[in-house]
Amino acid sequence: MTKPKIQAVDTSAAIGQDRGAPIARRALHDEVVQRIRGLIVQGELAPGERVPERELCERFGISRTPFREALKVLASEGLIDLQHQRGAVVSTITARDVDDMFQVMGVLEALAGELACARVSEAEVTAVEGFHREMLARYREHDLAGYFHFNQRIHEAIMQAAGNPVLGNLYGTLSARIRRARYMANLSKARWDQAVAEHEEILAALQARDGKRLGQLLREHLLHKADVIKAVLLGV
């Protein structure tokens, strides 16, 4: 049976691209969302900072209408707050936010890992292996944006292999909210090394179709990221 397509929020086009270039008319709304999301995820727009509407409209070569529509999408993802008189402001992340979001995300990914091992096809395993190789190549090149892109492709591929659209939709919604926090975690060299080692174990568990092991690894992987992010937020 063909697995239903899981809708996940994509930041890959926003990461590593020229976010200052004018935007073509094709798929304008989605492109604006991706561009602004990329500015937030990679830290060019910092938490608590006002989103400069006029400046970015000029930078992207667009009118205010698609820009404001994009802001509504980002507000629904929890990346910005729409405030009276101040306009759009990049959302802040607290240690409590990290705990709450990553606890839920850990449960979702653990379940996805268990389901994926029961349902995954050889083609899907091969795809994850390919993403893993690409991720390792970016790691060796110290290409953080490229690493982040293929890391996310792995997690999304496992979720897709789980074949549960309800689970996938919940994952997609929450994933957008914690994307910026996940990126913060990988800024630490020590954490980056640890994450790569964890991904080696994750791949081995998927190849072995060991659902219990994969679920445990995915949950621990996220909780380790949460610990690092909280340390960054608290300055320790």
Write down the pLDDT at residue 159.
96
Determine phi and psi for 70, rounding to 5 degrees. -65, -40
Write down the pLDDT at residue 25.
52
Write down the pLDDT at residue 231.
80
Domain ranges within the chain, ordered by starting residue = 1-92, 95-234
C-alpha distance from residue 203 to each of 20, 128, 151, 199, 234 (Å): 36, 8, 12, 6, 32
Write down the pLDDT at residue 95.
85
Domain range 95-234, CATH class: mainly alpha
Write down the pLDDT at residue 15.
45
Write down the pLDDT at residue 9.
44
Write down the pLDDT at residue 236.
53
Task: Point out the residues of the chain with pLDDT beneath 70.
Answer: 1-26, 180, 182-188, 234-236
pTM of the model: 0.72
Q: How does pLDDT run across 28-43, given as a tens digit for each residue?
A: 878 899 899 888 877 7
CATH of domain 1-92: 1.10.10.10
Write down the pLDDT at residue 23.
52
Write down the pLDDT at residue 13.
44
Q: In whole angstroms, what is the distance from residue 152 CA to residue 52 CA?
A: 28
Write down the pLDDT at residue 79.
84
Write down the pLDDT at residue 34.
86
Write down the pLDDT at residue 108.
96
